């Protein structure tokens, strides 16, 4: 039988781990956002030097290391809910489909560019083109939409996963808004036309009529 003191201890541990997770995720957001700042990317990502050539690769490595540190904050996360029976398998199948679709999106914009290894190619200096085909015809930010759908489709909901889903979804939406400004500066009227034609992150079947800009 669990005594009151044991319940209190478990609650305190859960609160501390939750606080630690939020703190670590905040650090990740700050590092990830600062490294993605256009001014910093222009300063270190321009020119012919080694850092400029592989800036995206270093950015990815740092992000993976810091995010792994974030996820290590919960040693034992309580299970809140498990989707029963065949529905659990269905959700795993949806997650797999979302992962495949994410890979398709990445191939549209360039796998080498996404991973940060395009600097190894001699033709890496070619100008970047705006992706408007495939899944990018449905929403302007399919990578973010699919990432959110993957998170909410997990059939095993733990405290850590629930927090990760809420915080990550908010951060992805915020990142999409920031990326809108960057893409508008980079592509100008071409992106403005694309904004009017394609919804922000919710497919048109659910979107209201009229302008599709956020």
Look at residues 28, 4, 52 and name the one whose alpha carbon lies nearest to residue 163.
28
Shared domain for 117 and 210, answered yes or no, is: yes
State how many domains the chain has.
2
Shared domain for 119 and 26, answered yes or no, is: no
Query: What is the mean predicted confidence (pLDDT) over 155-183?
Result: 91
- What is the value of pTM for the model shown? 0.81
Task: Flag whether pLDDT at 74 surpasses 90.
Answer: no
Shared domain for 65 and 137, answered yes or no, is: no
Shared domain for 93 and 58, answered yes or no, is: no
Shared domain for 202 and 172, answered yes or no, is: yes
Domain of residue 101 covers 77-214
**Residues 38 and 182: beta-carbon distance below 8 Å:** yes
Query: What is the mean predicted confidence (pLDDT) over 50-65?
Result: 81
pLDDT at 73: 80
Question: Residue 31: which residues within 8 A CB-CB, separation 6 or more?
Answer: 62, 63, 66
């Amino acid at each position: 039988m669990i005594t009151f003191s044991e319940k209190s201890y478990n609650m305190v541990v859960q609160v501390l781990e939750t606080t630690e997770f939020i703190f670590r995720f905040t650090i990740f957001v700050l590092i990830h956002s600062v490294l993605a700042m256009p001014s910093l990317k222009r300063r270190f990502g321009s020119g012919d030097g080694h850092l400029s050539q592989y800036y995206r690769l270093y950015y990815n490595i740092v992000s993976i290391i810091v995010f792994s540190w974030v996820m290590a904050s919960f040693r034992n996360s309580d299970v809140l809910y498990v989707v029963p029976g065949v529905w659990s398998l269905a959700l795993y199948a949806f997650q797999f489909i979302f992962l495949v679709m994410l890979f398709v999106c990445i191939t549209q914009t360039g796998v080498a560019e996404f991973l940060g290894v395009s600097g190894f190619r001699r033709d890496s200096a070619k100008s970047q083109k705006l992706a408007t085909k495939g899944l990018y015809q449905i929403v302007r930010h399919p990578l973010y939409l699919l990432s959110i759908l993957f998170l909410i489709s997990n059939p095993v909901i733990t405290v850590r996963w629930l927090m990760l889903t809420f915080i990550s979804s908010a951060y992805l939406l915020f990142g999409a808004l920031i990326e809108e400004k960057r893409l508008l500066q980079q592509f100008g009227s071409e992106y403005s036309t694309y904004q009017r034609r394609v919804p922000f992150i919710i497919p048109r079947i659910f979107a209201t009529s009229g302008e599709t800009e956020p």
